[in-house]
């Protein structure tokens, strides 16, 4: 006797998303309950006040309630995982909010100076401390910053990349010593770098305060950052790529130049960006080595020269509102300059490791077409030679 037919149980669709609907409801419910409980606590139950205390208590209450709600559905490690994820995401949100507040506050305080067209193409040579915003600008500071950071990059990029290649590709006792020195210099205070250049270049060699001396001080700050970041990136290149290049008969330096450095190009660009970000915002080394000037000095080897961070430092501590607005406007321009440098670096050098650029892809395609045409010609020639040999044998 055959068993009776039963209907198959319908399959339940499984959700593979990292964030589930219950997690969202638990987070929203915990947040609303935490705000309500903290409001009742501060308003009626306890003599507490202050915005900071309200935020801290609300956050701790939210974490407790969220853990309680998650524990109703999960057990053990899953609850701890959800709690850690909530802490990490909330801290990331706080950092993003802080960044937005800093940028928005800078733009708001400098809005009056940024609205003036002369702010971008005039210097402070004719502007006194009580002059209105339609007189004077930051041309001298912008030129000084670009020249100083350009000279510093011209010094630190080849030295930093060469030192990073030496540390990663030529291990030994001396390379370990150099790595230790580079790691120690990453925590070097900026004022110490400025004092070092001031004592050796200005007092020791007798050179005047100038943009070049400031660029040397910035180089001291940027060099260890570039070395450490580039060293880490180069060491991440797979050893199989080196072995494959060496197996084809290439020398070690040819392998480094044609295999290691192109593979680590994206990471090396990031290392240079980190070094630039460290040097472009420094104030004390420029103050000690470049002096201060209210006029435009386009010669970095002679005379005092100001930079945007130094101009901001001098302007925001003035008592008059116009100079404070100029200082915040210069800070906004500095942020825009850094953002532009980062975008350009990403566009021209930030592609993924091993990915060909447009020019390289076109050259590779042309070479492939030439090889295909050459192979086709050889094949036709061989067929013609074979036909000719066959006809000769038939005639004989």
* Local structure of residue 319 (DSSP, 8 states): S
The pLDDT score that the predictor gives to residue 353 is: 47
For residue 291, give the 3-state DSSP assignment.
coil
Q: Name the most confidently modeled range: 156-165, 169-178, 179-188, 279-288.
A: 156-165
Distances (CA, A) of 46 to 40, 42, 64: 9, 6, 20
Whole-model pTM?
Answer: 0.71
**Topology of domain 120-356, per CATH?**
MetI-like fold (1.10.3720)
Range with the lowest mean pLDDT among 130-134, 192-196, 321-325, 342-346?
A: 342-346
Contacts of 78 (CB under 8 A, 6+ apart): 70
Range with the lowest mean pLDDT among 205-219, 310-324, 338-352?
A: 338-352
For the chain, the structural domain boundaries read 21-109, 120-356
Split at pLDDT 50, 70, 90, the class of 127 is: confident
Rounded mean pLDDT, 25-29: 84
50 phi-psi bin (left φ>0, alpha ψ -120 to 50, beta other) = left
Range with the lowest mean pLDDT among 10-24, 252-266, 321-335?
A: 10-24
How far is the C-alpha of 381 from the C-alpha of 396, rounded, in Å? 23
Distances (CA, A) of 171 to 96, 156, 177, 253, 325: 40, 22, 10, 15, 52
CB-count burial class (<10 Å; 0-12, 13-18, 19+) for 396: exposed
Crossing angle for the helix pair 77-109 and 321-349, to the nearest 10 degrees: 130
Rounded mean pLDDT, 368-396: 77
Split at pLDDT 50, 70, 90, the class of 34 is: confident
Query: Exposure pattern of 37-76 as b/e (b: 16+ CB <10 Å)?
Result: bbeeebeeeeeeeeeeebeebbbebbbebbbebbeeebee
* 288 neighbors 202 (Cβ within 8 angstroms): no
Mean pLDDT of the chain: 83
Split at pLDDT 50, 70, 90, the class of 396 is: low
Distances (CA, A) of 40 to 14, 52, 69: 41, 16, 21
Long-range Cβ pairs for the range 372-375 (8 Å, 24+): none
* 215 neighbors 300 (Cβ within 8 angstroms): yes
How far is the C-alpha of 68 from the C-alpha of 315, rounded, in Å? 52
Alpha helices in the chain (DSSP H): 21-40, 51-71, 77-109, 111-114, 118-121, 139-169, 173-185, 190-197, 211-235, 239-247, 252-255, 261-263, 265-280, 284-289, 308-316, 321-349, 358-395
Q: Does residue 24 carry a pLDDT above 70?
A: yes
Rounded mean pLDDT, 42-67: 83
Instruction: Report residue 297 as tokens.
Output: 């000095």
Distances (CA, A) of 288 to 42, 226, 273, 292: 50, 23, 25, 9
The pLDDT score that the predictor gives to residue 2 is: 53
Contacts of 126 (CB under 8 A, 6+ apart): 135, 136
Instruction: Report residue 7 as tokens.
Output: 């209907």
Long-range Cβ pairs for the range 251-260 (8 Å, 24+): 252/169, 256/165, 256/169, 260/165, 260/169, 260/234
């Amino acid at each position: 006797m055959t068993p009776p037919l039963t209907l198959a149980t319908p399959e339940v669709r499984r959700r593979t998303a990292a964030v589930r609907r219950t997690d969202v409801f638990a987070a929203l419910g915990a947040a609303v309950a935490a705000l309500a409980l903290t409001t009742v606590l501060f308003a009626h139950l306890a003599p507490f006040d202050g915005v900071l205390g309200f935020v801290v208590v609300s956050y701790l209450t939210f974490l407790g309630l969220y853990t309680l709600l998650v524990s109703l559905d999960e057990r053990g490690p899953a609850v701890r995982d959800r709690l850690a994820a909530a802490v990490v995401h909330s801290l990331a949100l706080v950092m993003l909010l802080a960044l937005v507040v800093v940028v928005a506050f800078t733009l708001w305080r400098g809005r009056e100076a940024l609205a003036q067209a002369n702010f971008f193409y005039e210097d402070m040579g004719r502007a006194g401390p009580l002059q209105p915003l339609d007189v004077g600008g930051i041309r001298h500071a912008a030129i000084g910053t670009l020249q100083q950071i350009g000279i510093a990059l011209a010094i630190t990029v080849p030295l930093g990349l060469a030192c990073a290649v030496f540390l990663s590709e030529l291990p030994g006792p001396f390379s370990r010593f150099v790595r230790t020195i580079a790691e120690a210099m990453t925590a070097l205070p900026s004022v110490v770098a400025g004092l070092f250049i001031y004592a050796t270049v200005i007092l020791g060699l007798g050179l005047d305060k100038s943009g070049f001396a400031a660029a040397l001080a910035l180089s001291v700050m940027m060099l260890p950052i570039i070395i450490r970041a580039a060293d880490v990136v180069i060491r991440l290149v797979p050893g199989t790529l080196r072995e494959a290049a060496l197996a084809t008969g290439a020398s070690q330096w040819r392998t480094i130049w044609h295999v290691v450095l192109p593979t680590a190009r994206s990471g090396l660009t990031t290392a240079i960006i980190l070094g630039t970000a460290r040097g472009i915002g420094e104030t004390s080394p420029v103050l000690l080595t470049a002096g201060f000037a209210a006029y435009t000095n386009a010669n970095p080897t002679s005379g005092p020269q100001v930079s945007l961070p130094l101009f901001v430092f001098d302007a925001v501590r003035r008592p008059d509102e116009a100079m404070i607005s100029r200082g915040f406007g210069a800070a906004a321009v500095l942020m825009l300059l850094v953002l532009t440098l980062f975008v350009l670096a990403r566009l021209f050098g930030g592609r993924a490791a091993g990915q060909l650029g447009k020019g390289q892809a076109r050259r590779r395609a042309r070479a492939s077409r030439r090889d295909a045409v050459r192979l086709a010609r050889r094949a036709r020639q061989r067929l013609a030679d074979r036909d000719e040999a066959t006809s000769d044998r038939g005639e004989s």
